[in-house]
Chain A
Amino acid sequence: MDTSFSDYFSFELMWSRIPHLIQKIPITLELAGLAFLVSLFVGLLIAVIRYKKVKILSPIATGFLSLMRGTPMLIQLYVAYYGIPAILRIFNSWGANIDVDIIPKMVYAFLALGLYQAAFTSETFRAALESVDKGEIEAGSAMGMTYGQILRRIIVPEAMGNALPGICNSVIGLVKGTSLASTCGIIEITYQNQILAGRDYRYLEGYVALAIIYWIITIILEKIFKLVEKKFKIPEQPKPVKEAKHGNP
């Protein structure tokens, strides 16, 4: 019997899948974007709590990190997917009146993804915060700056440069992590592929097409972050002084 390569893998089919998958990129990016915001906010909060060794909150944060790092993201997604409605129903049984079904699946997914990533982002932030010389903080307080001002004007901007590579990894991790959200019934690019492949049972072409799409998104994100990093980096060469001194050359 004659077999050809195209019986196992058709490039034509793979290319034809890509436009259908691209349609759902906005969903993937929206999910990753919202999860990223959650991870930034929660990550920064946890980092500051642990950096400042805030009483009571600090051990709670440490416990949260351990839990997030010690359980698979897929399981966390399922727990959020089934758990959040369950909790809301309990509230309802106590007299609250929340329509559980009105909450979009998206919310469970980006919360779960965001909290998972926050555990890693927070460590990036904490390392970056700790990279700022304590002496600079002291110099700030010695001139009468409040701790808030020091945090805003000295610590965070300086730490940002060090945190960016880690944040970039975080974003890439999130984009890839959104593929798991397909299990919660969100039609992003991975789920879209399963729907399409379900019609003709050509899974391989679809998955290869998906891999290419994820890869390209990742490369673009890396390029963007490189540009941002450059902005935060202290330049190798100082800028020349433009104006003349006191009007004299």
Chain B
Amino acid sequence: MAILELTNIHKRFRDNVVLDGIDLKVEKGDIIGIVGPSGTGKSTLLRSINLLEKPEEGKLKFDDIEITLPVRSKSKKTVNELRKRIGMVFQKFYLFEHKTALENVMEGLITVQKKSKEEARKIALEELDHVGLWAWQNHYPKHLSGGQQQRVAIARTLAMRPDIILLDEPTSALDPELVTEVLTTIKAIAEQGYTMLLVSHEMDFIQKISTRVLFLDGGKIIEDGSPAEVFNHPKSERAREFFEKMYRLKEPEFII
């Protein structure tokens, strides 16, 4: 049974249709890579799943939680229940600036999951250790590099033991040098069996770790299949064109 099911999701910003009837079923353990040109609704799709964006139309089903859109103010509680179980990693990390790495990871455990300070600390230290930042626990975000900040953000998300992790371009705000350390961390999570949805422009990486790839264009899913199918044998002209341009970057005349 699908853990997450989106039905006919519509979202517009003013006159601009961003999501135009998205249907998506996510199975437990799926690692879904979402690719496509800029401004085609990839991030909006991700942010609609935890309702940081509020679609005007459609239905969202997550495990035993069902939300009919648009969200009514009386279902605030339901939205919060949903968010407690879906983790999100942002492009710009968004760590809490006045808290140390450790306190950042502990925050949700204490305020949302109502764990004791000691317990939260224990879990948070474990998670920081997993992303290789145990020794950085007392550092404030401003003391950390972008890559380290993103790894703390990943630890913060994992500490909540979410059922699904949404990653919204987790490496596109990083210096090229720092991308690898974050991708390595994400790969390690993927291998732990987490259900993930990942928006990224790192095509090689998506091809390697995804179990399924979506190609979005004009607010619609126009390709949906295994990485091999979507990347090597795209059905649509738009996707073929997109990948061709991507691969052309690697050809000799571009390497000066």
Residues of B within 8 A of A142 (CB): 50, 52, 83, 86-88, 90
Task: State the Cβ distance, B49 to closest chain A Cβ, in Å.
Answer: 10
Residues of B within 8 A of A141 (CB): 52, 83
Say yes or no: A133 contacts B98, CB within 8 Å: no
Residues 3-45 of B at the A interface (beta carbon under 8 Å): none
Select one of B84, B97, B129, B143 contacting A143, CB under 8 A.
B84
Task: State the Cβ distance, A69 to closest chain B Cβ, in Å.
Answer: 31
Is B142 interfacial (CB 8 A cutoff)? yes
Which of A49-57, A72-80, A238-246 lies at the interface with chain B?
A: A238-246
Say yes or no: A149 contacts B111, CB within 8 Å: yes
Select one of B94, B97, B111 contacting A138, CB under 8 A.
B94
Say yes or no: A245 contacts B129, CB within 8 Å: yes
Interface range for A: 20 to 34
Say yes or no: A238 contacts B50, CB within 8 Å: no
Say yes or no: A158 contacts B98, CB within 8 Å: yes
Residues of A within 8 A of B139 (CB): 238
Residues 164-216 of A at the B interface (beta carbon under 8 Å): none
Q: Which partner residue on chain A sits nearest B81 by CB separation?
A: A144
Measured in the bound complex, the distance between the Cα atoms of B99 and A153 in whole Å is: 10
Measured in the bound complex, the distance between the Cα atoms of B108 and A143 in whole Å is: 7
Q: Which partner residue on chain B sits nearest A242 by CB separation?
A: B138
Residues of A within 8 A of B95 (CB): 136, 139
Measured in the bound complex, the distance between the Cα atoms of B84 and A141 in whole Å is: 9
Say yes or no: B52 contacts A144, CB within 8 Å: no
Central interface residue in A140, A144, A153, by most chain B CB within 10 Å: A144
Measured in the bound complex, the distance between the Cα atoms of B102 and A239 in whole Å is: 12
